[in-house]
Structure 1
Amino acid sequence: MSLEKFDKEIFELTNKELERQCEGLEMIASENFTLPEVMEVMGSVLTNKYAEGYPSKRYYGGCECVDEIENLAIQRCKKLFNCSFANVQPHSGSQANQGVYSALLNPGDKILGMDLSHGGHLTHGAKVSSSGKIYQSFFYGVELDGRINYEKVREIAHIVKPKLIVCGASAYARIIDFAKFREIANEVGAYLFADIAHIAGLVVAGEHPSPFPHAHVVSSTTHKTLRGPRGGIIMCNDEEIAKKINSAIFPGIQGGPLMHVIAAKAVGFKFNLSEEWKIYAKQVISNAKILAQTLIARNYKLVSDGTDNHLVLMSFLDRAFSGKDADLALGHAGITANKNTVPGEIRSPFVTSGLRLGTPALTARGFKEKELESIANYIADILDDINNTKLQAEIREKLKTLASNFIIYPKAMF
């Protein structure tokens, strides 16, 4: 029986979401469009199989096939990141990070991470996260110019003396200097943990410096700039740390791995290893740069005055409207983005004074510099007259026409 006949409500809502993704412009920096082949294996018979443990060391029988699948995912991941160990079982980036902490720290140990309001992530020690509740968390941030001041990070590290330093961000538009972070970690005797969830796809394409050999351990999501399924991974080059990571994930914080997702990760990694991937990653950055240049030309301030990666962070500290206002206005015009805090923030985290925009999803659809320049001008038009709902509706129709030329999935997909 088809989904349409068995559960018409879910079928219709799924198709409604497909329509939204096809007709609108996805510019949330952490979102992307995965491959149909990835979705195909995620909806396969592999979803039926329990496989607690690791390849050749399972607690269930009948794991011969999934052992081969997980080994393939591991080998591809290691090749992709040029490392000696990979755990492909984490269900998400947050659980990957939790696994790293559990492996290397004891409750109450000190961690030093990037402040959430400065572009860090919840799992880098935010007080509302388990990472900020189980461990003593301290923070570094960015200067008012939107860049990390490594000397200040060093000063804080020498005062705090953390057991682990987290580097990586969810709203930082510049290159991260992993070598400098390792110098600081060495000076205070800390582990260096790189969370590259946002930039992993750029790293493996050679468009951003790799955290290896500088980081003791590295985590990432497999979606975002990698364009795989939603999930997490952990990598390292240290045998003892590797053993601790495996134990921390299973049986530490997870039970049975999601074998359909692990297979999908393997499929995604195969794409990431291709020459086509390098072309895609380079285009992601080119698109982000033209987006930044056009917005600056339209008199909008960007945190750090530009970008080196896949995202730009707009600052509205000099404007009467908020990040929330901008988010809603662009949404009405068919552009999905997200409000974000900025350095020098004056509003609450629920309102914010910034907007984060990313190019991975549009690039996956085939958008290039010409289209991004047009989109940036539409964004500026909307924000210049932010309460003009008629203009928003007109631009929505124009963007719908534009989007129809870049179909990512067939409309009869479900």
Structure 2
Amino acid sequence: MDYDEVRAIDPEVAAALSGEVERQNETLAMIASENHVSEAVLEAQSSVLTNKYAEGYPGSRYYGGCEYADEIEQLAIDRAKDLWGADHVNVQPHSGSQANMGVYLAVLEPGDKILSLDLTHGGHLSHGHPANFAGQVYDVEQYEVDAESGYLDYEGLAEQAEEFEPDIIVSGYSAYPREVDFERIQDVADDVDAYHLADIAHITGLVAAGVHESPVGVADFVTGSTHKTIRSGRGGIIMCDEEYADDVDSAVFPGSQGGPLMHNVAGKAVGFKEALQPEFEEYAAQTVENARALADRLQSHGLELVSGGTDNHLVLIDLRPSHPDTTGKEVEEALEDAGIVLNANTVPGETRSAFNPSGIRAGTPALTTRGFDEEACREVGDLIAKIVDAPGDENVVAEVSERVAELTDEFPLYDDDEPLYE
């Protein structure tokens, strides 16, 4: 990744790109929504398909010259069907949020009712936050996790749905560390005659590998990101039964997007093929085991985790019980100085600002891609705990930084002599 062609034209951008490669190589990515794609996916995403307009769908385009775009998009669709067992797949959404927009446009009218999880309890902006289009176009009410356990309150959700009478219930979350009972939420939706949208943006790879329950064939619509636990080209995806296929496709194009980003679709196709290999199931299972090991070690240091642990790829740490005067942003910044990159995050019952909340969220997908096992993730838990205990201590930050440098050398990322993964 020398970026020689870019450097010849634009040395400033080339320098920034090279700096980003160095940053990723020399830090531990623990933002739960981030991962490292293979060199093959990177190559596909930077391909000449960036030059091609392909409005429409395979076999029915509004432009000529789409024979190879058709071939690649159909490969992405077919592989997605194999991965998740879906009847119909749309791989064109530019992101998970736009995938959600596509579903809303397909079945809702402005002012219709959405019932979704509150952002501070682990929901997502595109599920109806007032700052997002969904919260501005639709009538949104939000449910919460149980204050005591940190788990979804399914009975409370059912009662709230009966009273609110939503047109669609949204499940799937951005900061919920437990497995989701999609069938139970579907039962709630059926009881109130609502659609059910399962947003698996964070767990697409875990679902594909069978280490998390699948909502495909259960929920009316399933959306997701294609660049988190699935390690494919950056973007979104919509899955549904054939009865909704035409409405979904027209909601994506021309309803909410113009031409698809065909170079991203190529990255999706390549990443999906990688995920269809047996090794991917091992990767997904290891990601979960690594998260559990991390969670156990953090708890051993007296840190409190929302829900007491994890079933998936992430842990959510509530700093208030053990470090009431420390904010998530303080810890995030100190950890980044030490080479561990995660994010400050709201926690259930949040009393601080979302810009400086009371928690931090950490994930293991990218560490697992680098080759980290449970023991390595336990050590990372030790390093995080040291920073949490003394975020303002420069000596502690320097000590942790030194060990992070050793770990990144031990588990190389984009190495000229060794592919990231086969």
Amino acid at match of 1:336: V
Equivalent residue number for residue 371 of structure 2: 366
Q: What is the alpha-carbon distance in structure 1 between the residues aligned to residue 355 and residue 407 of structure 2?
A: 31
Equivalent residue number for residue 7 of structure 2: 4
Structure 1 segment 4-403 matched on structure 2, within 5 A:
4-144=7-147, 145-237=149-241, 239-318=242-321, 319=323, 320-403=325-408
Q: What is the alpha-carbon distance in structure 2 between the residues aligned to residue 132 and residue 406 of structure 1?
A: 42
| Structure 1 residues 226-245: Cα deviation after superposition (integer angstroms, max 9, x where no partner) | 111210000012x2311100
How far is 1:410 from its partner?
2.5
Per mean C-alpha deviation after superposition, the further-off stretch among 103-112 and 404-413 is: 404-413
SS at match of 1:215: coil
SS at match of 1:224: coil
Per mean C-alpha deviation after superposition, the further-off stretch among 41-50 and 28-37 is: 41-50
How far is 1:400 from its partner?
0.8
SS at match of 2:229: helix
SS at match of 1:404: helix
**Is the CA contact (8 Å cut-off) linking 1:179 and 1:214 kept in structure 2?**
yes
How far is 1:52 from its partner?
0.6
Amino acid at match of 1:210: S
How far is 1:386 from its partner?
2.0
**Is the CA contact (8 Å cut-off) linking 2:120 and 2:349 kept in structure 1?**
no
| Structure 1 residues 243-272: Cα deviation after superposition (integer angstroms, max 9, x where no partner) | 100000011111111111111101010011
Per mean C-alpha deviation after superposition, the further-off stretch among 346-355 and 381-390 is: 381-390
SS at match of 2:16: helix
**Is the CA contact (8 Å cut-off) linking 2:216 and 2:239 kept in structure 1?**
no
| Structure 1 residues 68-127: Cα deviation after superposition (integer angstroms, max 9, x where no partner) | 111111111111110110000001111111011000100000010110010000000111
Runs of 4+ in structure 1 off by over 6 angstroms are none
Q: What is the alpha-carbon distance in structure 2 between the residues aligned to residue 184 and residue 382 of structure 1?
A: 43
Instruction: Give TM-score, length-normalised by structure 2.
Output: 0.96
**Is the CA contact (8 Å cut-off) linking 1:19 and 1:411 kept in structure 2?**
no
| Structure 1 residues 185-227: Cα deviation after superposition (integer angstroms, max 9, x where no partner) | 0000000000000011000101000002210010000001011
Instruction: Give TM-score, length-normalised by structure 1.
Output: 0.98
Q: What is the alpha-carbon distance in structure 2 between the residues aligned to residue 281 and residue 192 of structure 1?
A: 26
| Structure 1 residues 109-156: Cα deviation after superposition (integer angstroms, max 9, x where no partner) | 001011001000000011111001000001011012211010000011
Q: What is the alpha-carbon distance in structure 2 between the residues aligned to residue 13 and residue 410 of structure 1?
A: 19
Amino acid at match of 1:281: A
- For structure 2, which runs of at least 5 residues remain unmatched after alignment? none
**Is the CA contact (8 Å cut-off) linking 1:18 and 1:411 kept in structure 2?**
no
How far is 1:411 from its partner?
6.2
SS at match of 1:165: strand
Amino acid at match of 1:343: P
Q: What is the alpha-carbon distance in structure 1 between the residues aligned to residue 251 and residue 59 of structure 2?
A: 18
SS at match of 1:267: helix
Amino acid at match of 2:379: S
- For structure 1, which runs of at least 5 residues remain unmatched after alignment? none
Q: What is the alpha-carbon distance in structure 1 between the residues aligned to residue 378 and residue 176 of structure 2?
A: 21
Q: What is the alpha-carbon distance in structure 2 between the residues aligned to residue 341 and residue 383 of structure 1?
A: 16
The two structures, once aligned, show a CA RMSD in angstroms of 1.2
Q: What is the alpha-carbon distance in structure 2 between the residues aligned to residue 202 and residue 182 of structure 1?
A: 20
| Structure 1 residues 143-189: Cα deviation after superposition (integer angstroms, max 9, x where no partner) | 12211010000011001100000000000000100010010000000
Amino acid at match of 2:169: I
SS at match of 1:194: strand
Per mean C-alpha deviation after superposition, the further-off stretch among 166-175 and 397-406 is: 397-406
Q: What is the alpha-carbon distance in structure 1 between the residues aligned to residue 231 and residue 75 of structure 2?
A: 18
Amino acid at match of 1:168: G
Q: What is the alpha-carbon distance in structure 2 between the residues aligned to residue 315 and residue 32 of structure 1?
A: 24
